[in-house]
Amino acid sequence: MLFLDSKALFSTMLRSIIAVIGGVAVTLSLAPYNFWPLAIFATACLFALLQAQTLKMSAWFGWCFGLGLFGSGASWVYVSIHDFGHLSVGLSSLLTLVFCGCLALLCALNWAAYALLSHRLITHLRPPASQTANTLHLENTILFAALWVTGEWARTWLLSGFPWLFIGYSQTQQLLGPWASIIGVYGISFLIAITGAVVALFTLQRKSLGAEARLSSINPTKQYSMAFSLLLIWLAPVTLTFPIWTEQASKPNSVTMVQANISQHKKWQLSHRQSSIDLYLKLTEPHWQTSDLIIWPEAAIPIYHDRSAELLRHINARAIASQTSFISGIPSRDSSAGTRYNSLIGLGEASGIYHKQKLVPFGEYIPFGKSLGNLLDFFDLPIANMNAGSSDQQALQSPHWQTTPLICYEVVYPALAVKAAAVSDVLITVSNDSWFGASIGPLQHLQMAQMRAIENQRYMLRSTGNGVTAIIDPRGRITARTAQFKQAVVSGLFFTSSGKTPWGAIGFWLVPSICGVIILLFALKKITGHKH
């Protein structure tokens, strides 16, 4: 008995390690590594591990997978907490571990649901006579993909939202990328998940996961039909020309984006404030006469809007004289209401002000801050503890275009970007990625901005403080960019666009809804099956 228990414990430990490796594989499939086949490997591993498992073990393997995913892909949060929150190494590490562990709990819940709803493939639980083993297997792959997408969608809003590390981003510039204008990142995640599940299904036919999980013989016809259909979907972008859903203007506009590469530590110090502003003005000066649009990044002006009147008047006059639209990040506040915002302001030919709606956990606000008490005193930078802007703000206006910008973290929200694109001729996102240091976070961030450009078939102008600043075309291709941690100026052309893609019209809610319906049908089938 002791030998059997030890063998079972070893098997569980081995599978747990495989689950963690699967989560890490998702991170490696994304930027900056871009080993995209690992996305299929990751989903195949998880699907195989979940077969014939109890509710408890499914939740455990799901948590291990999530810990590998977020521990490898989102641990850059440590930089924000330690370097800019001024917490000790120990406390910063603890908070990062708690953050990743809590996110992994969402994966545990997700895959516990799979154990409840899937057709159990244990030898002593026989399928109803009216159903073949083949149908049961194929249905499980569909449920698996639907739950995967639902889990990603839930992360966009649950616990304030952390829509990071979606597996669909692995295809941003790969085979499935062009599908994004129709089914978006959620639909691509579905295709990757079901592909991995089918790959695992082929493997499981030849080798069981254990004595308790031997699989029935499968009629190959339906299984090969599904595999062939998936292959056609993967190859469609290679063999077909995908339509252009939006209408692009014939006349280009010129844009200049300034990347000053100023240290985050110096940026907010009073002694460096004027030198920072002078550097931006110096780098911008040669481009006033040649640019239709000049963009400074998030919080480029490190002074509250109500205390920057003289500087803003100077920039406004310079922009008007050269008939240039100017956009810059700047903090703003309403002293009477005690609110502070991370904002963008339009000057010269541009007008309006926009307040950021989606804030960065630990960078701009502290999750569960009221429960942390005096710990908030450590977060004393001017950009910390911000308030969220209204969801019904007006677009920034220019004579030739208008845009609802996306500040930093906002570009990772698919639905928010769709809403912005609906009233924008060009998508503009600004960021202060120095919050995340030399981690993989900024490069993941860039990849997500590329996906938003493909989904909405609009140019994306991405201006950052220390990189990567880039012009992204409607196919997600980078036409001009800077390196990270370099003082540089990016100049180039962009075209305005009008109209909506299928993703922008209905896909952003239809794809998650279809996945929800699939899950509901499985739940109803399970309930009615138990009644009989």
The three-point CA angle 18-20-21 to 5° equals 60
Cβ 128 vs Cβ 218: under 8 Å: no
Say yes or no: 397 and 475 in one domain: yes
Query: At 507, which amino acid appears?
Result: G
pLDDT at position 496, please?
A: 98
In a domain, 36, yes or no: yes
Task: Answer yes or no: is 121 within a domain.
Answer: yes
pLDDT tens digits along 21-36: 999 999 999 999 999 9
Contact 232, 271 (CB under 8 A): no
Domain shared by 358 and 283, yes or no: yes
> Are residues 442 and 522 located together in one domain of the fold?
no
> What domain count does the chain have?
2
Q: How far is CA 447 from CA 67, 163, 343, in A?
A: 22, 13, 23
Joined together, the tokens standing for residue 33 give: 């590594």
Average pLDDT over residues 449-465: 98
DSSP for residue 361: B
Is the model's pLDDT at 359 over the cut of 90? no
| pLDDT given at position 305 | 94
> Is residue 484, in this structure, part of any structural domain at all?
yes
Quote the CA–CA distance of 77 and 360 in Å, as a whole number: 10
pLDDT score at 479: 98
CA distance 361 to 358: 9
Distance, CA of 84 to CA of 396 (rounded, Å): 31
Residues sharing a CB contact under 8 Å with residue 371, sequence separation 6 or more, in sequence order:
none
Are residues 427 and 517 both part of a single domain? no
Q: What does the pLDDT average to over 511-523?
A: 97
The answer to whether residue 298 is catalytic is: yes
Neighbouring C-alpha atoms within 13 Å toward the C-beta of 296: 29
Integer Cα distance of 94 and 105 in angstroms? 16
Whether residue 126 is found in the same domain as residue 266? no
pLDDT at 531: 55
Residue 224 sits in the same domain as residue 139:
yes
- CB-based burial label for 391 (10 Å; 0-12, 13-18, 19+): exposed
Q: Alpha helix locations (H) across 131-179?
A: 133-154
Domain match, 304 and 422 both:
yes
Q: Is the pLDDT at 382 greater than 60, yes or no?
A: no
357, 322 Cβ separation under 8 angstroms: no
R_g (Cα) of the chain, nearest Å: 25
- pLDDT > 90 in the chain, percent: 70
- The pLDDT score that the predictor gives to residue 370 is 56
Q: Measure the CA–CA gap between 392 and 395, rounded to whole angstroms.
A: 9
296 and 171 belong to one structural domain? no
Quick one: 354 and 418 in the same domain? yes
- Report CA 515 to chain centroid distance, whole Å: 19
3-state secondary structure at position 398: coil
Considering 298, 349, 364, 410, which one is annotated as catalytic? 298
Residue 297 to residue 284: CA distance in whole angstroms: 12
In a domain, 499, yes or no: no
pLDDT at 42 over 80: yes
* 503 is a domain residue: no
Distances (CA, A) of 281 to 290, 311, 432: 15, 10, 18
Is residue 248, in this structure, part of any structural domain at all? no
Phi first, then psi: what are they for 207, rounded to 5°?
-150, 125
Spatial separation of the C-alpha atoms in residues 319 and 25, rounded to whole Å: 48
* Per-residue model confidence as pLDDT tens digits over 237-284: 999 899 999 999 999 999 999 999 998 778 888 888 999 999 999 999
Average pLDDT, the chain: 89
Report whether 284 contacts 294 (CB < 8 A): yes
The answer to whether residue 394 scores a pLDDT higher than 80 is yes
In degrees and rounded to multiples of 5, residue 320 shows phi and psi of -65, -40
Between CA 69 and CA 76 the distance in angstroms is 12
Residue 92 has pLDDT above 50, yes or no: yes
Is 230 inside any structural domain? yes
Q: Report the C-alpha gap between 516 and 152 in whole angstroms.
A: 12
Per DSSP, the three-state class of 365 is: strand
420 with 464, same domain? yes
Provide the pLDDT for residue 9: 87
The average pLDDT across 463-468 equals: 93
CATH number of the CATH domain containing 448: 3.60.110.10
| 317 in the same domain as 228 | no
CB-based contacts of 441, cutoff 8 Å, min separation 6: 76, 79, 433
Q: Which of 337, 325, 333 is nearest to 303 (CA)?
A: 333
Residue 247 forms part of a structural domain? no
Tell me the C-alpha distance between 195 and 12, whole Å.
25
Distance from C-alpha of 433 to C-alpha of 360, rounded to nearest angstrom: 11
What is the Cα–Cα distance from 354 to 419, expressed in whole angstroms? Answer: 14
Exactly one of 64, 408, 410, 455 is catalytic; name it.
408
Clarify whether 408 is annotated catalytic. Answer: yes
Q: Are 180 and 259 found together in one domain? A: no
Which of 116-125, 173-182, 415-424 bottoms out in mean pLDDT, i.e. has the lowest?
Answer: 116-125
- Which residue has 């649950």 as its token pair? 158
Helix (H, G, I), strand (E, B), or coil: what is residue 267?
helix
Q: Residue 423 above 80 pLDDT?
A: yes
Tell me whether residue 80 is exposed, middle or buried, using C-beta atoms within 10 angstroms of its C-beta: 0 to 12, 13 to 18, 19 or more.
Answer: buried
| DSSP annotation of 116 | H
Higher pLDDT, 467 or 59: 59
Q: Which backbone phi and psi does 233 adopt, to 5 degrees?
A: -65, -40
Domain that holds residue 312: 253-493
Task: Give CA–CA dist 176/185, Å, rounded.
Answer: 10
| pLDDT for 471 | 98
